[in-house]
Structure 1
Amino acid sequence: MSASLFGSFRLGRDARMVEGQNGKFASLSLAYDTYDSSKGERVPQWIGATLNGTRAENLMEYLKKGTLVEAVIADPRLESYTKDGKETWQLQGHIIKIELLGGKREDDKPAEGGDAGGDGDRPL
């Protein structure tokens, strides 16, 4: 049995091309907003995702910070990493379908942070 996530996301940083054991892949930091009732406002949630193959290479010039995409993320999972000496958890997955929906709107404020996970150069 497997699961997938589907939704609209903004890129939190420019995509990075990484050379892994199984070839090249793009590392992406995706953000979506959720409502935090303790703060009374919407806050960004981050997903670290990868996109493999020729599609990743062809889309690199378009996968820039702030770009709106619609994506299907396969096999989402929580992974832990250490940042500043503290263990942190983050949702990770592999993009099996992606569509560019548009660039950053003028009235959008970039979400703070923007880097989903510790070292962006490690395979997800």
Structure 2
Amino acid sequence: MKKVTKLSDYQDIMIQIGNLMAKGSEGVSKKELTEIRNLALALQDYEQKKYVVDPPSTLAGMIEMRMYEMSLKQRDLAKKLRISDAKLSLILNGKQKPDIDFLKAVHTELHVDAEFILKHA
């Protein structure tokens, strides 16, 4: 697999992929499909190293990240955690401390690490 180490390499590979994809699915050979895949994997590796997102540093941040990952709206999350919309809102805005039942639900329903919960609750 080709290594991408700088932005100019990244941009060059994007052009190569664009040119290959412009041929359309009928005009690309199996060899070219393999090349597209390998180039895309090289780009993905570069992106994962270059664009690192720090994990949330608060319980509310972690819950919001899980909401995003699970494509949940706040009211859907409240149902999943078996609490009212209002209570969830108060907790996420720091106006109410989470209780044990809420923290257990966050752990089991959202798969948030227990150690993270203990450190940030």
TM-score bucket of the superposed structures, by smaller chain:
under 0.3
Higher percent of residues as helix: 2
TM-score under structure 2 normalisation? 0.20
